[in-house]
Amino acid sequence: MKYQGEALRDALAAEYALGTLRGPARRRFESLLKYDPKLQRVASQWETRLAPLNHDVDPVQPPESVWREIKRRIEARSRAPALTTRWDSLGFWRIASFAGAAATIVLAAMLALLVPSDRSQEMMVVVMVDDYARPAMTVSWPTEGHGDKELRVRLLVHAEVSAGSAWELWMLPRDDGKPISLGLLTSHEMQVVNVPARLVGAVNAAWGLAMSAEPMNGSPVGVPTGRILYKGPCTML
Amino acid sequence: MSDAELLHKLMARCVLRDERAFATLYRHTSAHLFKVARRMLRRDDLAEEVLQECFVKIWNHVDDYAVARSTPMTWMMAIVRNGAVDCLRRRRPEYGQEDFDLFLESIPDDSPAVEERLDKRQEVNLLSACLDQLTPSQRQVVTLAYWYGLSHEELSAHLGEPLGTVKSWVRRGLNRLSQCMQATGR
């Protein structure tokens, strides 16, 4: 809530771009940036506004050793066969949040059709989109109550799970924490995912959901290892 | 092809893991980015370290670049500037007070003549016109912070003004800058 005021957000973004936002405040601001596309836009706007200040001095060629070291590092990385996850990548979060924001706007009308008509209780709705921001799946659940919960999953596109693999649904926490598995999905159009009571609070507070392609029995390491097929942010309706 | 168009194309090829495009991107941008890091860090070795870290980051996160939000150069500049600010935070104790005092003394005392130091492109003119609307103190703290990576505390020490005063110059200066640039649609 502290960061919601537009003026405060603008002031923080300005001092972030200027470089005077320091210490823990800078860290906190960077954490917020990962999840908040609007804030990212404000920060980018400030970076763009101030950028002309860099035009004042002549470029200075860095020594050749800098490039050699960069080249060595990126080549070493591209050869590394390690089991990689996408969760250490800021990039994933940003892309996820952008695609999600676009989909949320486009689909505002569509949601009314997808969400059960009983509006007496608040529903969390997640419109999950593919890499091109096309809606592919919705997940919804009532947020009230603390017992076990059923998440209603609806696939909007026809897709098959590839042989030898499985689809796994993940909850993406708001902070820097790792995704939490909510279980495997099938390619059925309508399905239900049971969430145990101990995870209900976390799911209600989640930033969003994602679905990844994993080996037959799900990710062996507890975080997504395969391609993220669909993802989207949680929206309270 | 304009610089920005060329950089867009190179970045698109980097997304497809084209290492030659990345080498070209480096050739086109590194000298500009290096000078910015060098001015903020005042030490060539640290600036080289930051530049290296940032280009590895650019390669690893190039698919994170959103065309609509800023130009490739502004995006890369933000990565380098953030890298330099982080480096300042980690390394400042190494400088020693004496080095730092010497550095502070080397900064021109009067408010930098922004128009004289910037070239004449349109976006530069706009920023410089808006900077002109700030009070001299506001303009001075904003440009010193941007160019030399000075924190509120360092600005306060350099200018011999109370911390609260400096903070308020920065805040009001940015606020006025924002109003002026919004009025022109930036």
The interface pTM score, or ipTM, of the predicted complex is 0.88
- Give the up-direction half-sphere exposure of residue A11: CA atoms within 13 A in the CB hemisphere: 16
Nearest CA in chain B to A20: B151
pLDDT digits (tens, 9 = 90+) for A28-81: 888 788 777 788 889 999 999 999 998 877 889 999 999 999 999 988 766 544
**Chain-chain contact of B64 with A95 (C-beta, under 8 angstroms):** yes
Asked whether the beta carbons of A228 and A212 are under 8 A apart, the reply is yes
> What separation in angstroms does the CA of A197 have from each of A202, A233, A237?
10, 21, 22
SS3 B148: helix
**Chain-chain contact of B85 with A19 (C-beta, under 8 angstroms):** yes
Question: What is the model's pTM?
Answer: 0.61
- Closest CA–CA distance from residue A131 to any residue of chain B (Å): 12
Mean pLDDT by 10 residues, chain B (186 residues): 80 82 95 94 92 93 71 92 90 64 65 56 80 94 93 92 97 95 80
**Chain-chain contact of A52 with B61 (C-beta, under 8 angstroms):** no
Q: What is the pLDDT of residue B92?
A: 63
Nearest CA in chain B to A30: B82
Q: What is the pLDDT of residue B117?
A: 60
By Cβ distance, the residue of A40, A70, A95 closest to B56 is A70
Which residues in B lie closer than 8 A to residue A23 (C-beta atoms)?
89
**Chain-chain contact of A11 with B171 (C-beta, under 8 angstroms):** yes
Asked whether the beta carbons of A129 and A99 are under 8 A apart, the reply is yes
**Chain-chain contact of B145 with A19 (C-beta, under 8 angstroms):** yes
Nearest CA in chain B to A54: B36
Of A143, A123, A140, A134, the C-alpha closest to A100 is A134
Comparing A85 with B47, the larger pLDDT belongs to: B47
CA distance A125 to A115: 8
**Chain-chain contact of A26 with B85 (C-beta, under 8 angstroms):** yes
First-residue to last-residue Cα distance in chain A = 19
Give A74's contacts (C-beta < 8 A, 6+ positions apart): B19, B22, B56, B59, B60
